[in-house]
Chain A
Amino acid sequence: GAGVSQSPSNKVTEKGKDVELRCDPISGHTALYWYRQSLGQGLEFLIYFQGNSAPDKSGLPSDRFSAERTGGSVSTLTIQRTQQEDSAVYLCASSLEMGPQPQHFGDGTRLSIL
């Protein structure tokens, strides 16, 4: 079947604007994860969902970041009032369930803040 799909693949926006990044996980996968990849910070875990629930939001970099998942499927990561330091590749992954299951990654959204 299809893999994890992320959209848009690239996003360029001006500082101060809000952006919404979308992730479509593999069908039937109950767990979903967001990561950020940047030159300075490497691969950084942001948040995970078990079903529609995100029990721990402490990995989100600031209160400008929020994430939701509805219907146990699609997830959106929203960044409000973007700053230049938000420029990075945002990666989404899904796994069949939480626990020792491989996480399958999408190819990410490359976000550039001007």
Chain B
Amino acid sequence: GQNIDQPTEMTATEGAIVQINCTYQTSGFNGLFWYQQHAGEAPTFLSYNVLDGLEEKGRFSSFLSRSKGYSYLLLKELQMKDSASYLCAVVFVGGGATNKLIFGTGTLLAVQP
């Protein structure tokens, strides 16, 4: 299987730090993406990890541990506009010329004043 698990909902306070976890089955793993999706809009790219470690990009950071099948997205200095769904998506090696990207159910983050 290619199960991807992440919390359904989280709540945090403006200015704080929040960590959104994602676990996945490691067989066939070939990279992990985080996407942000505001209500009624298309997902937009946040980060990509293929090697172990932390990738930092401004207020957002993403971490990957391939051996543990684990990733997290860290959001610092939260702003109200960060209220959105955060999607963990894993690239699984395909049988043909291409791989496929499988999404988790998403974590709905609510940032409160």
Pair from one complex: no
Q: Which residues of B contact A (CB under 8 A)?
A: none
Q: Which residues of A contact B (CB under 8 A)?
A: none
